[in-house]
Structures are given as structure tokens and as C-alpha cells.
Amino acid sequence: MKPFACTLMVPVCAIVLLSACDAGQPETIGADDIDRIETSLVNGSALRWELTQAEARVATECMEDQGFFAHETNLLHGGIVPHRFEGFASPYSRIPTVEQAEQFGFGQWVELNYTPESASMREDLNYLAYVAGEQGWMDMTSLDAYQEWKESGEEYQTEWLAAFLGEERAEAPAGKADQLPFGGCELVTIEAVYGEPAVVETESGTYLTRPDLNSPLTWVGDGELYRELSAQYAEQEEGFLDCVEDRGYGAWQFDEMGMLPVREQLAGMYSDASESDDPMAYEFAMAKDFAECAQDSGLRDEAEEAWAMLYVDRLIDREAEIFAWEQQVADYLASAQEYLA
């Protein structure tokens, strides 16, 4: 994982095509280019999550000033949970290393096997780093808050929605609210954080939304990149899949995104397990076999570097936009923090 270092102030040559800075030379992508773009995306991702939390605090403060203390937490930040980016990670990285397999298995036992050991592991920093890409910005405290909201009663919920959305939006039929002006504490929050709502024109009408802060990662399709990576690693993939089958796990296949259905298989095993079964032991043995097969087949050999290169090749022409996105997120976060202060 790269440090959350701000990279907004960069030389002009760093935010335009390399060929433009060295006329006549062919454009190449080097380690510095990957590191620079990756660091900005990691930093922007972390800031985006801080912004989501700050936006929810602004909305909470507004609602509590009106006497509401149980909240529909998902609405407080517009139902948006940003993608968590910890660095370029190929689909193959979902297969644990041998060391990770010995420590964590595939990590499914932690989520599916409710024991004191799994509860403790959910707070282990090494484990949380291991599953960060899969779990995203999971906030377990929100579950308790949402349960409080569910138990608050229909009358309270109706009053809460009117205060948060504004009466006009709260009473609008499904699918029509987005075409109405924001109101209530939702409008207060949007104006405090973003200045004003964004207006989107479509064929079906005009919609009001929060400003679009999608990560630049959405500009690139993982499926498209995986096809290229798979072509480079066809021999290693075949060796890995043969190894897995030889160790008694049957025939497996990477899907169009380069993923293996490990989670689905293990979830079924845990749900169907009898008292005499030990799916956790099976998971750890399976994880170690998969890890050793990935290592022995060469599936790990420079695959992460190749994946990062494929991504940056798609992003480098828009590098200035990436830095602008990072700065915009930082500016909105500063507005939210200023309001809360």
C-alpha cells in the first residue's frame, strides 16, 4: 500500500504526456509514472471516504438539532460508499500468498464462522489489510445505528424523512424525487459540502444530484484489462488450474474479470456444514494449496507490475484530470470540516 502522500503539486511534465516533455522521444511508462498515479488514486480514495463520513456528520448534526437521534444512516451521505483503492492489484492477487494462506486462509471463516477467534480476527490490523480490497470501507458501527432506525417506528421514520428530504421530496412517488429540488437537512448538507447540487440533463428529464466524484478507476474496465493480462499469463494460468485440479479440487476457471468462485463455494460449505464437518480446516488447506499452485506455476511472477502497467497505460493521458479529481475531493472535504468546526 502506498503512503497517503499528497501529490497535487507536481512539475508540468508530470501531468501531461511524456512525449510532450521530450519531443521526438517515444512515449514510455516507467515506475515513476505508475507510482505517481497510484499514489494520487490511493490518496484520493482515502479522502473520498473521509468526505463520506464528514458529509454524514454534517447531516447528523442538522437532524439532531431538530430532535432526531435515530437515523437512516445510508441517506446521510446519499447512499454513496466510495471504492477503496489500496494500490493496483491484479485479479491474481485475490489468491493468497503461502504466508497469507497459513495466517488467514481465504478469510471466509472470519465472516462466516462466528466464534471468539473470528471476532478477534476482525479487529486484527494485518487481517484488515489483507481483506481491505474485498471489504471496501466496511463500517461495522453503522449496523447498530441502522438497527436503531429500524426499531424507531413508522411515525418517527415518516417525520425523519420529511425533515431530512424536505416534505416535497419525502412525499414524491418512487422515481420522481430526483426531479424535485432538494430540501430539509439534505439540502443543508449539500450546500455545506458541495456549494450546490449538480444538475444532470437526460432524455427522460432533468435530475438533481450530488456532484459526481467517481474515482478515475471507473474510466477503465477491469474485464478489458484482464483479457490482456490473461493473454500474457496464459501458460501460468493453465499451470495453476492444472495444479489445483491435480490436488483434488476439481476443474476451476477464471471468469471474465479474472476471478475464481472461491467465496461462493466456501459460503455454501459453511451454510451446509454439519456438526461433524470442519469447513474452517478445509478452507485453510484449500487456501494453502491454491497459494502453492499460484507460486509454483509462476502466476505471481511480475503479474502485479504488469497489471499496474496496463492500468496506467489507460490513465496517463488523463493524468491532469486525476490530480484535479484528487484536489476537488480535498476541497469538498475542507468545506465539510470548516462547516463542522
In tens, the pLDDT along 88-108 reads 999 999 999 999 999 999 999
Alpha-carbon distances of 317 from 28, 146, 154, 295, 311, rounded to whole Å: 12, 43, 52, 34, 11
Report the pLDDT value the prediction gives residue 81, as an integer from 0 to 100: 85
Report the pLDDT value the prediction gives residue 114, as an integer from 0 to 100: 82
59-85 per-position pLDDT tens digit: 999 999 999 999 999 999 998 888 899
Report the pLDDT value the prediction gives residue 16, as an integer from 0 to 100: 36
Report the pLDDT value the prediction gives residue 3, as an integer from 0 to 100: 35
Report the pLDDT value the prediction gives residue 334, as an integer from 0 to 100: 98
The x, y and z cell numbers of residue 22, run together, are: 521530450
Nearest-angstrom CA–CA distance, 150 and 70: 9
The x, y and z cell numbers of residue 84, run together, are: 477503496
Report the pLDDT value the prediction gives residue 129, as an integer from 0 to 100: 85
Report the pLDDT value the prediction gives residue 151, as an integer from 0 to 100: 94
| CB-CB neighbours of 274 under 10 Å | 5
pTM, whole model, 2 decimals?
Answer: 0.84
Report the pLDDT value the prediction gives residue 20, as an integer from 0 to 100: 39
**Eight-state DSSP code of residue 248:** I
Which residue ranges in the chain fall short of pLDDT 50?
1-26
Q: Which of 312, 313, 310 is nearest to 91 (CA)?
A: 310
AA identity, residue 121: M
